[in-house]
Amino acid sequence: MPPQRATLLQVAQRAGVSRSTASFVLAGRHLDMRISEDARQRVLRAAQELDYRPNLMARSLRTKVTRTIALVSDTLAADPYAGRAINGSLAAAVAQDHLLFIGESEGDPVVEQKLIGDFLDRQVDAFIYASMFTRQVRVPKQLKGHPVVLLNCLTRGVRPTHHQIVPDELAAGWSAASTLLEAGHRAGIYLVGRPDEHVFAGRERLAGIREGLNAADARLAGTVECDWWPDSAYEAVSRALAEGWSPAALICLNDRVALGTYQALRAAGRAIPEDVSVISFDDSEMAAWLRPQLTSISLPHYQLGWQAVEKLLGPPTDPAVLRVPMPVRRRASVTKPAVR
């Protein structure tokens, strides 16, 4: 049998104080109740000697507060890269003395409904509703009336009904353009990827790239369309190079596209960055593994998770969209334009 846990009454008896005095000390209310320093020290010493831990279940039944958060996502937790948002949420929850429960639906609405129902049965205090990819969502009806923050997703409509924490993809696009402009590129800048209007990241990145270039009176020279995967990028870039295409700089819509682009450039005898500068988005582990290492604009997964918990547990404010900055990780794939 496990050892019987010490009770608050036993702590009080060992310290020679009343049960209420011991309770006030352990709750940090000794100053409010004008409890002497000597009594406080006796209570703390007794609690340590008895290895006293408060009965959180009893406290939650009394206060209706469980100090727990539930994070419900589609496939966020299963991805080792995007899963850093879970790490950020966990760290922020621990910092505020909360437990974080995690549930993943794999995009199945029936599973999601059951997860939320189970969490409600366990009386969690608040919810983070998260998505693997930034997209528009409908907040489940079960969450109505409960504190909710959206992580990496947005609701439809002009006025937000909940805090929504998303990466600042628009500013990231501007940063990609600025990085090339600062290196001296003005012409021969191409986009690699397919910026689908219905994909938040692609749409926002492209808009930011255009705004950044326009501010310097520069323009994209064109787009090499491909899916956001290495093989598709390799085929599209190889085909364009075989037709005589000669870019000065390439902006890839993500690191997987950059991987395929690297392979196509090398196969065609083009050196990075001496012949062609390459910049990308996401800053996955792949960016540092490539040679030369890839300059990439980081998706701030950890910060997204941290900010979601901060908003959820912080002082009440009007719902708003919080765009988290995406820093540029400067590496060896960008340099000044080659002399042609």
Q: What is the pLDDT of residues 48-87, one digit of tens each?
A: 888 887 665 555 445 455 789 999 998 876 677 777 899 9
| 116 in the same domain as 14 | no
CATH value at residue 16: 1.10.260.40
Is 306 part of any domain?
yes
What residue spans of the chain are helical by DSSP H?
A: 8-15, 19-26, 37-49, 56-63, 84-95, 109-121, 169-182, 200-215, 230-242, 255-267, 285-289, 301-313
Question: Rounded mean pLDDT of 229-245?
Answer: 97
**By the 8 A CB rule, do 248 and 188 touch?**
yes
Whole-model pTM: value is 0.80
The overall longest dimension of the chain from CA atoms, in Å, is: 89
pLDDT at 162 over 90: yes
The total domain count for the chain is 3
Q: 5-19, 114-128, 291-305: which has the highest mean pLDDT?
A: 291-305
| 146 in the same domain as 99 | yes
Q: What is the pLDDT of residue 286?
A: 93
Residue where a domain stops, chosen among 263, 284, 299:
299
Identify the band that residue 335 occupies on the pLDDT scale cut at 50, 70 and 90: very high
Cα 30 → chain centroid: 39
| 190 in the same domain as 84 | no
Least confident stretch, 144-148, 193-197, 286-290: 193-197
| 261 in the same domain as 223 | yes
| 305 in the same domain as 187 | no
Task: Give the angle subtended at the CA of 84 by the CAs of 82 and 85, to the nearest 5°.
Answer: 80
DSSP H or E segment with residue 276: none
| 112 in the same domain as 68 | yes
**By the 8 A CB rule, do 290 and 258 touch?**
yes
Which amino acid is residue 272, in one-letter code? I
Q: At what angle do helices 8-15 and 19-26 cross, to 10 degrees?
A: 100
**By the 8 A CB rule, do 104 and 82 touch?**
no
Is 333 part of any domain?
no
| 208 in the same domain as 286 | yes
Is 135 part of any domain?
yes
Is 340 part of any domain?
no
| 45 in the same domain as 19 | yes
Q: What is the pLDDT of residue 65?
A: 56
Question: Rounded mean pLDDT of 238-254?
Answer: 97
Structure tokens at 96: 């505020």
Is 334 part of any domain?
no
CATH value at residue 108: 3.40.50.2300
Per-residue pLDDT reduced to its tens digit, 270-323: 999 999 999 999 999 999 999 999 999 999 999 999 999 999 999 989 999 999
Is 101 part of any domain?
yes
**By the 8 A CB rule, do 254 and 287 touch?**
no
| 177 in the same domain as 264 | yes
Is 282 part of any domain?
yes
Q: How far apart are CA 324 and CA 260, in angstroms?
A: 28
Structure tokens at 196: 């689908």
Q: What is the pLDDT of residue 79?
A: 73
Question: Rounded mean pLDDT of 138-145?
Answer: 93
Give the residue numbers spanning the domain of 32.
8-54
Identify the band that residue 158 occupies on the pLDDT scale cut at 50, 70 and 90: confident
Question: Rounded mean pLDDT of 234-263?
Answer: 97
